[in-house]
Structure 1
Amino acid sequence: MSRSLLGLLLLSMFTFHGAVQAQSLPWVDDTNFSNIVGQGGPAVVFFDASWCGACRSLDGPMGTLAARYGGRVQVLRMDVDSNAETPQIFGIRDLPTVVFFNHGSVAGRITGSASLDQLESRVQALLR
Structure 2
Amino acid sequence: MDFSDGAIEATAGPKALFFHAAWCPQCRTLDEDLRAEGAPDGLTVFKVDYDARTDLRQKYGVTLQTTVVFVDDAGELISSSVLYDDPSVASLAAAVP
Which one has a bigger Cα radius of gyration? 1
Do these two structures clear the TM 0.5 threshold for a shared fold by scoring above it?
yes
Matches within 5 A, 1:52-67: 52-63=24-35, 64-66=37-39
TM-score, normalised by the number of residues in structure 2: 0.74
Greater length-normalized contact order (CA 8 Å, ≥ 6 residues apart):
2
Q: Distance in 1 between matches of 2:94 and 2:17?
A: 15
Where structure 1 has 5 or more consecutive residues not aligned to the other structure, the ranges are 1-25
Divergent runs of 4+, >6 A:
none
Q: TM-score, normalised by structure 1?
A: 0.59
Q: Deviations 1:85-120 (Å, cap 9, x if unpaired)?
A: 111111111111111123332222111233432211
Could you tell me whether the CA contact under 8 Å between 1:98 and 1:110 is conserved in 2? yes
The answer to whether residue 60 in structure 2 is matched with residue 90 in structure 1 is: yes
What residue ranges of structure 2 are gaps of 5+ in the alignment? Answer: none
**Relative to 1, partners in 2 of residues 1:105 and 1:65: Cα closer, same or farther, differing over 3 Å?**
farther
Contact 2:50/2:65 (8 A) holds in 1? no
Q: Number of residue pairs matched?
A: 92
Structure (1/2) with the larger strand percentage: 2
Q: Distance in 1 between matches of 2:18 and 2:54?
A: 14
